[in-house]
C-alpha cells in the first residue's frame, strides 16, 4: 500500500503547537482528533479519510480511539487501521495513537471492566484491528470498583513491558483512585503518563482536584468533550435541531439538558465570542488552554469544515481578565 502522495510538507508550521505531556518527553498537539463518532462502519468512509488527512496535514498528530468506538463496536479502530496502512504508510512514527479498554465491548463476564483478563484481551484485539505492533498510549477507560486497582495497574504495566504500548494512562478515575493508580504505576516502573477527563466551560470539576494532583505527580492531562457534545457551538442557539446529538440522545448529551436556561447561557457566551472575532466553538476551545496543566483537548468533528473551524481557534488563545470573569459569571 502506498502513502498519500500529497502529504503537506509544511504540516508542522500550522497553528497547532505542542505541549509536553506532564513531566515526560512526550509532546502532544494542542488539538487531538477523537474517533468516537463519525469513523465507524456506518459512517462516510471518504469523509473520515478527508478528516484524518486534513488533521495530519495541519499538525494534528494524535488520534484518540477506544476499543468500543464506532458502530458497531471496534469499527473505528478497524477503519483507522485500514486508512493508516493504505494512505499513511511510512508516517507511523510521526503519529501518536491511543486506545482504551474498560467499557462494555463484548458479551459475557470478561467483556468489560478492569480485570487483567479484559485488558490483555482488549489490547491484543485493538492492535489486530488497527494492524499495529503497538499503540503509543493505552488507557484504563474507567475505574472498576469490582476489580482490585492493583490488578488493573499491574496489567497496564505488563502491557508496556511487553512492548504493546509505550505509555499508559487512566480516564475518568475518581481522584482518590487516581492517586492510588499513580503510586502503583510508579512503583512498577511504568509511571502514569496522562489522565483523560471531561473538561469544558460547562464541566470544570477537574480544576479543583484532578489537575493539581496530576501536576504534583508529573502526569499530563487531556480533556474530552471541550464543546460539551456540541452544546458549546452555534448548533443549539435556537433550540434542538433534527439529527443533532441531543435530538437522537447520541452520546452524553440528552434532550432534557437543552433547557431555556441553557440556551440563554449559550446565547450570552456566543455574544462574547462574536466580540472576540470567534465562533462560540472556537472560544470554548481557546478557553480550555487557560490552565497550563491542560496539554491537549480532544475534538470530535463530522466534517473538514468543522475541523478547520476548530484549528482556527488556536489563532486567538488570549483572554482578558474581564472576559474570563464574564464567562465565569455566565
Query: pLDDT tens for residues 50-78?
Result: 999 999 999 999 999 999 999 999 999 99
CA distance 170 to 19: 19
- Looking at residue 5, its pLDDT comes to 55
- Looking at residue 258, its pLDDT comes to 72
Does 244 map to a domain?
no
Does 112 map to a domain?
yes
Does 240 map to a domain?
no
Q: In CATH, what number is assigned to the domain containing residue 96?
A: 3.20.20.100
SS (H, E, C) the chain: CCCCCCCCCCHHHCCCCEEECCCCCCEEECEEEECCCCCCCCCCHHHHHHHHHHHHHCCCCEEECCCCCCCCCCHHHHHHHHHHHHHCCCCHHHCEEEEEECCCCCCCCCCCCCCHHHHHHHHHHHHHHHCCCCEEEEEECCCCCCCCHHHHHHHHHHHHHCCCEEEEEEECCCHHHHHHHHHHHHHCCCCCCEEEEECECCECHHHCCHHHHHHHCCCEEEEECCCHHHCCCHHHCCCCCCCCHHHHCCCCCCHHHCCHHHHHHHHHHHHHHHHCCCCHHHHHHHHHHHCCCEEEEEECCCCHHHHHHHHHHHHCCCCCHHHHHHHHHC
Does 262 map to a domain?
no
- Looking at residue 247, its pLDDT comes to 47
Does 173 map to a domain?
yes
- Looking at residue 174, its pLDDT comes to 97
Number of domains in the chain: 1
Q: Which residues of the chain are modeled with pLDDT < 50?
A: 1-3, 246-248
Does 120 map to a domain?
yes
Burial of 14 (0-12, 13-18, 19+ CB in 10 A): middle
CA distance 118 to 155: 10
| H-state helical runs in 15-148 | 45-57, 75-87, 116-130
What values do phi and psi take at 167, rounded to 5? -140, 160
**For the segment 173-204, what is each residue's pLDDT rounded down to a tens digit?**
999 999 999 999 999 999 999 999 999 999 99
Domain range enclosing 107: 11-229+291-315
Does 32 map to a domain?
yes
Phi-psi region of 274 (alpha: psi -120 to 50; beta: other; left: phi over 0): alpha
CA distance 290 to 294: 8
Question: How many C-beta atoms surround the C-beta of residue 89 within 10 A?
Answer: 12
Task: Please check whether residue 295 is in contact with residue 23, taking contact to mean a CB–CB distance below 8 angstroms.
Answer: no
Indicate the SS3 state at residue 295. strand
Torsion of the alpha carbons at 82, 83, 86 and 88, rounded to the nearest 10 = -130
Task: Please check whether residue 121 is in contact with residue 138, taking contact to mean a CB–CB distance below 8 angstroms.
Answer: no
Q: What is the pTM of this model?
A: 0.93
Does 63 map to a domain?
yes
Task: Please check whether residue 50 is in contact with residue 21, taking contact to mean a CB–CB distance below 8 angstroms.
Answer: no
- Looking at residue 267, its pLDDT comes to 94
Question: How many C-beta atoms surround the C-beta of residue 198 within 10 A?
Answer: 19
CA distance 26 to 221: 12
Amino acid at each position: 500500500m502506498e502513502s498519500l502522495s500529497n502529504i503537506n510538507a509544511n504540516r508542522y508550521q500550522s497553528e497547532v503547537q505542542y505541549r509536553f505531556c506532564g513531566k515526560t518527553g512526550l509532546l502532544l498537539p494542542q488539538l487531538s482528533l477523537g474517533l468516537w463518532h463519525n469513523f465507524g462502519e456506518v459512517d462516510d468512509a471518504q469523509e473520515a479519510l478527508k478528516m484524518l488527512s486534513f488533521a495530519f496535514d495541519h499538525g494534528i498528530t494524535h488520534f484518540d480511539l477506544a476499543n468500543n468506538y464506532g458502530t458497531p463496536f471496534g469499527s473505528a479502530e478497524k477503519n483507522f487501521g485500514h486508512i493508516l496502512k493504505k494512505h499513511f504508510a511510512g508516517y507511523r512514527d510521526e503519529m501518536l495513537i491511543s486506545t482504551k479498554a474498560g467499557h462494555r465491548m463484548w458479551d459475557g463476564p470478561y467483556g468489560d471492566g478492569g480485570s487483567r483478563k479484559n485488558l490483555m484481551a482488549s489490547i491484543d484485539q485493538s492492535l489486530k484491528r488497527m494492524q499495529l505492533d503497538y499503540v503509543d498510549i493505552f488507557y484504563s477507560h474507567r475505574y472498576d470498583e469490582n476489580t482490585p486497582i492493583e490488578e488493573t495497574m499491574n496489567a497496564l504495566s505488563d502491557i508496556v513491558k511487553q512492548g504493546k504500548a509505550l505509555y499508559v494512562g487512566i480516564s475518568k478515575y475518581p481522584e482518590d483512585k487516581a492517586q492510588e493508580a499513580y503510586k502503583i504505576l510508579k512503583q512498577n516502573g511504568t509511571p502514569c503518563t496522562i489522565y483523560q477527563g471531561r473538561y469544558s466551560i460547562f464541566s470544570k470539576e477537574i480544576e479543583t482536584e484532578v489537575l493539581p494532583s496530576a501536576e504534583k505527580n508529573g502526569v499530563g492531562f487531556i480533556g474530552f468533550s471541550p464543546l460539551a457534545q456540541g452544546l458549546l457551538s452555534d448548533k443549539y442557539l435556537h433550540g434542538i435541531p433534527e439529527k443533532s446529538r441531543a435530538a437522537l440522545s447520541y452520546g452524553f448529551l440528552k434532550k432534557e439538558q437543552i433547557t431555556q436556561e441553557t440556551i440563554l447561557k449559550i446565547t450570552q457566551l456566543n455574544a462574547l465570542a462574536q466580540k472576540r472575532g470567534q465562533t462560540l466553538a472556537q472560544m470554548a476551545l481557546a478557553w480550555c488552554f487557560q490552565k497550563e496543566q491542560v496539554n491537549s483537548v480532544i475534538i470530535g468533528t463530522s466534517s473538514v469544515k468543522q475541523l478547520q473551524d476548530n484549528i482556527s481557534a488556536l489563532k486567538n488563545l488570549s483572554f482578558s481578565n474581564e472576559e474570563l470573569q464574564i464567562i465565569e459569571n455566565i
